[in-house]
Amino acid sequence: MSKIIRIGTRDSELALWQAKIVQSQLENLGYKTQLVPVKSTGDLVLDKPLYELGITGIFTRTLDIAMLNHDIDIAVHSLKDVPTVLPKGIVQVAVLKRGNVHDTLVFKNNEEFLGSKDAVIATGSLRRRAQWLNRFPTHTVVDLRGNVNLRLQKLQDNEWNGAIFAAAGIGRIGLRPEEAINLDWMIPAPAQGAIMITALAEDDFVKTACAELNHEETSLCTSIEREFLNKLEGGCTAPIGALAIIKNEEVHFKGVLLSVDGTKRIDVTRVKKVGEHHDIANFCANFIIERGGNRLMDAIKNANKKTNVYSTKSFTEAQRLLFHEKVTVESSDFIKISLNRIHPRFLKNEIENVVITSKNAVESLITNYSAIELQFKNIYCVGRRTKKLVETKIGKVTHFENSAKKLANYLVDYMEGNSVTYFCSDLRLDDLPTILEKNNIKVTEVEAYQTKFDGIKIPETIEGVMFYSPSTVESYIAKNNTEAIAFCIGETTATEAKKHFKDVRIAKVPTVESVIELVNENYL
């Protein structure tokens, strides 16, 4: 035991207290030790919330580097601050017996504000912020950073009603006010209240020494909580809570994921016998993911990202997942569709030639009439998806093209008869009826639906806009500039876009997915 174990620690009062506990326990076992305080990035950068710094392990990275450089032999951490995946070559060698797991509310005057509509609470934790707002949605939560002493001083210096601390941290250094309240309803951070020791994987001497300090129950419970965190891909940038306790030889687990503003919350609980608990973290993480957890996590991850592409049509969840990681997209419907009542006089006899250029026209027809009532001899349409919908809901399509202009030219050359019935919108391009009428084909237009502009003003920093019809282009330009790239679903849409945009790009096939692929190519 002649080797001196150099104990790396942050130099805050709480970190030093924790390191000295480890030092005392090792020396009681006969080992020689030396404290090596190291200042971390997390202690140095106090002008931004922790989650805005954009890196996990902000309080551990400096110690990791010191260890890999062989400047220290072990590092002592608050386990809740440690990333769930350790750097290569560094391993967890012990977790000390856990302290108080709860969050604590410290207030200045009294707790009457808890029943008030208006109150101001301070915390630097997204998890605490989200859970507080979930319980007290009308309160205001402000950011609070710094060591425990500094945060307590900020509470006194500001017009806040209270601030939230980890009970273990504020208690360990003897600064917990008598009137402070444990927030038993708030699910703590994974591994909160636990002290963890890391070492180099190759250092058998210190691994053996520290193994004697390991508390098995704490190690088991915190490993479950951290696995749950890892499965949700969370760090200090997500409002995730988890707590596992052992009671009557059973592991009792509860976890939570919230939106940053606390308006959305997904909870999970699970009880398993010790020894049969190994799937508990995975089960609970999947439970949350299947109930909308993926959408919440995506929203959280993208919250601080700058939106660079805007879609003039809302996406499905499956479509959102197709975007490249460099694309941060927002979407809304820039046109609203209102289906019209189609008068029976247009359908009293079998119609020889019918033209349908959109799925909206199909929806209008099948909303008004059954497939049996729609007696069409020849159906001509624009777009593969329109064709598929027609054949599913109405009947066989005689021919389709990818643009109205191409369809018009086809009808001039190959259509039987000299008249068509065109089910269209109140807003439509003139290409198809103009070409047909010039070639002595009578066009009877039936207004099947109305298209209403519903565009919004979007940030001028947007780099690209996705368009799906000429109407979406018209709706967009009514309120926005045209400096962005126009990503268009087809040639007809691109023709309208070219009247306003310098850079117009056309998808390979006229589908939303193909437009997404076009956007992704721009950001590779």
Task: Tell me which residue range forms the domain holding 135.
Answer: 103-183
Regarding whether 446 and 349 lie in a shared domain, the answer is yes
Domain boundary among 262, 281, 303: 303
Domain boundary among 303, 326, 357: 303
Where residue 148 falls (left for φ over 0; alpha for ψ -120 to 50; beta otherwise) is alpha
Regarding whether 114 and 87 lie in a shared domain, the answer is no
Regarding whether 288 and 163 lie in a shared domain, the answer is no
Q: List, as own/partner pairs, every contact residues 328-335 make where C-beta atoms lie below 8 angstroms and the sequence separation is at least 24, other chains included.
A: 328/302, 329/519, 330/458, 331/466, 332/456, 333/454, 334/453, 334/454, 334/455, 334/456, 334/472, 334/475, 334/476, 335/451, 335/452, 335/453, 335/454, 335/455, 335/469, 335/471, 335/472, 335/475
Residue pLDDT tens, the chain, 524 long: 568 999 999 888 888 999 999 999 999 999 999 999 986 554 444 455 444 443 345 567 788 888 888 889 999 999 998 888 888 889 999 999 999 999 999 998 778 888 889 999 999 888 999 999 999 999 999 988 888 888 899 999 998 999 999 999 898 988 888 889 999 999 999 999 999 999 999 999 999 999 999 999 999 999 999 999 999 875 557 899 999 999 999 999 999 999 989 999 999 999 999 999 999 999 999 999 999 888 888 777 766 678 899 999 998 877 888 888 788 899 999 999 899 999 888 887 888 999 999 889 999 999 989 888 888 999 999 988 899 999 999 999 999 998 888 999 999 999 999 999 999 988 777 789 999 999 999 999 999 999 899 999 999 889 999 999 899 999 999 999 999 999 999 888 999 999 999 999 999 888 899 999 999 988 87
Regarding whether 493 and 345 lie in a shared domain, the answer is no
Neighbours of 362 (CB within 10 A): 24
Q: How far apart are CA 66 and CA 304, in angstroms?
A: 31
Regarding whether 428 and 352 lie in a shared domain, the answer is yes
Instruction: Name the pairing type of β-strands 399-401 and 351-356.
Output: unpaired
**E strand segments, 113-203:** 120-122, 140-142, 162-166, 181-183, 195-200
Domain boundary among 431, 453, 475: 453
Regarding whether 449 and 369 lie in a shared domain, the answer is yes
Q: How far apart are CA 158 and CA 85, in angstroms?
A: 38
Q: Domain of 426: which CATH number?
A: 3.40.50.10090
Q: Could you give the strand order of the β-sheet that contains 162-166, starting from the edge strand earlier in sequence? A: 140-142, 120-122, 162-166, 103-107, 181-183
Residue 204: what are its φ and ψ, rounded to 5°?
-65, -30
Q: Could you give the strand order of the β-sheet that contains 32-37, starting from the edge strand earlier in sequence? A: 32-37, 4-9, 74-78, 195-200, 90-95
Regarding whether 462 and 447 lie in a shared domain, the answer is no
User: At which residue do the structure tokens 């391009």 appear?
Assistant: 429
Regarding whether 261 and 318 lie in a shared domain, the answer is no
Regarding whether 324 and 279 lie in a shared domain, the answer is no
- Full-model pTM: 0.59
Regarding whether 298 and 311 lie in a shared domain, the answer is no
Q: Domain of 298: which CATH number?
A: 3.30.160.40
Where residue 191 falls (left for φ over 0; alpha for ψ -120 to 50; beta otherwise) is left
Say whether 81 is catalytic. Answer: yes
Regarding whether 323 and 176 lie in a shared domain, the answer is no
Give me the number of domains the chain comprises: 5
Regarding whether 471 and 325 lie in a shared domain, the answer is yes
Q: Domain of 113: which CATH number?
A: 3.40.190.10
Catalytic residue among 64, 73, 81, 203: 81
